[in-house]
């Protein structure tokens, strides 16, 4: 009886030392990312009425590699024209997530120094010019900007956002679609819209 118990303990110890059937491999194995604890849902803790000089508007933040809207109090006082509203929205995109947003798994990829102005001579009337060429932004940042601006007064309510950079290159149209929100890396600029 004692020999059986000792034998079982010895077999168990050897199994633990040997890895118990899990063999090493020279080929890397991608088992995917770690499970996410992100809920991608922010429970509002602020009062329902936005502070004076602000308007509650959705901005697109990143959660589990996709874009989801988060309502923010956007400072619109003195920024009623399209470029002014675009800058107010961009300010919110540049701001780091609140503690509640961070806890829910949200982040932003928009650079802190990014700014926006209105169209130049020869640009379409609804064009916006970024301080960085759109194609030099990360795919996430560009998709955040496009989908936050789309459908707002910053673009005249249009779903295609006409963006250019600081150089002489003409602005291009960037559509915000469900595919863009689900897969921001797929966003492509189209041809130059007519002025």
Separation between Cα atoms, residue 46 and residue 43, nearest integer Å: 9
Question: Residue 119: what pLDDT?
Answer: 96
Each residue of 177-193: pLDDT tens digit?
A: 999 999 999 998 876 66
Question: Residue 146: what pLDDT?
Answer: 98
Separation between Cα atoms, residue 170 and residue 159, nearest integer Å: 19
3-state secondary structure the chain: CHHHHHHHHHHHHHHHHHCCCCCCCCCCCCCCCCCCCCCCCCCCCCCCCCCCCEEEEEEEEEECCEEEEEEEEEECCCCCCHHHHHHHHHHHHHCCCCHHHHHHCCECCCCCCCCEECCCCCCCCCCEEECCCHHHCCHHHHHHHHHHHCCCHHHCCCCEEEEECCCCCCCEEEECCHHHHHCHHHCCCCCCCCC
pTM above the 0.85 mark? no
Question: Residue 80: what pLDDT?
Answer: 79
- The number of angstroms, rounded, from the C-alpha of 21 to the middle of its chain's C-alpha atoms is 42
Name the DSSP letter for residue 60: E
Question: Residue 8: what pLDDT?
Answer: 54
Each residue of 94-127: pLDDT tens digit?
A: 999 999 999 999 999 999 999 999 999 999 999 9
- The number of angstroms, rounded, from the C-alpha of 118 to the middle of its chain's C-alpha atoms is 23
Question: Residue 188: what pLDDT?
Answer: 87
Which residue ranges of the chain lie beneath pLDDT 50? 12-22, 24-25, 28-36
Kindly report the average pLDDT of the chain as a whole number. 83
Question: Residue 24: what pLDDT?
Answer: 47
Separation between Cα atoms, residue 128 and residue 117, nearest integer Å: 6
């Amino acid at each position: 009886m004692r020999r059986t118990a000792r034998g079982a303990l010895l077999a168990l110890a050897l199994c633990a030392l040997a890895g118990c059937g899990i063999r090493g491999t020279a080929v890397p194995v991608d088992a995917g990312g770690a499970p996410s604890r992100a809920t991608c849902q922010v429970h509002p803790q602020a009062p329902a009425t936005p502070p004076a000089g602000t308007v509650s508007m959705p901005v697109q933040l990143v959660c589990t590699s996709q874009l989801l809207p988060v309502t923010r109090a956007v400072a619109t006082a003195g920024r009623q024209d399209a470029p002014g509203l675009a800058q107010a929205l961009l300010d919110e995109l540049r701001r780091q997530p609140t503690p509640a947003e961070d806890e829910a798994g949200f982040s932003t990829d928009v650079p802190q120094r990014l700014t926006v102005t209105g169209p130049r001579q020869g640009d379409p009337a609804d064009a916006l010019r970024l301080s960085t060429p759109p194609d030099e932004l990360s795919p996430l940042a560009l998709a955040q900007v496009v989908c936050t601006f789309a459908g707002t007064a910053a673009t005249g309510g249009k779903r295609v956002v006409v963006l250019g950079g600081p150089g002489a290159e003409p602005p291009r149209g960037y559509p915000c679609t469900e595919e863009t929100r689900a897969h921001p890396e797929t966003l492509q600029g189209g041809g130059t819209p007519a002025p």
